[in-house]
Amino acid sequence: MISKKIDNLKDLEIWSDLNFLTSIVQKQLNKKKSENLEKMSKSLIRIVFYFQEYSNNIRLYKKALSEYKQTKNRAIERARRSEQENERLRKQNESLSI
């Protein structure tokens, strides 16, 4: 739980920094275009897209992992119930055989 909050705060900081940088570059581009500013703008755009994709991949990985764990836990619980029912029926069968 704490790790998720820390991750969210880190993401917020990165998005704030990226927003700050892109707004500065955009303002400078609006004042006077230059080759370096245009390259910087394109680089920042690639960084933003990369970070967004990375964040989405992490989120989807955690979601898939959680679903796999839930599926595994449900299968274990079904197996335990089946074993208990099997044991109950075995005892019932033994008591009838005597």
Give the model's pLDDT for residue 98.
63
Q: What is the pLDDT of residue 86?
A: 96
Residue 33's nearest CA partner among 25, 21, 22 is 25
Q: Which two tokens stand for residue 84?
A: 């208990």
- What would the two tokens of residue 26 be? 């955009």
Tell me which residue of 56, 57, 23, 63 sits closest to 41, measured CA to CA.
23
Consecutive 10-residue runs of the chain (98 residues): their mean pLDDT?
85 94 94 93 95 93 96 97 96 85
Residue 2, pLDDT score: 77
Q: What is the pLDDT of residue 31?
A: 94
Q: Do 21 and 43 touch, CB atoms closer than 8 A?
A: no
Q: What is the pLDDT at residue 4?
A: 84
pLDDT at 3: 84
CA distance 38 to 44: 10
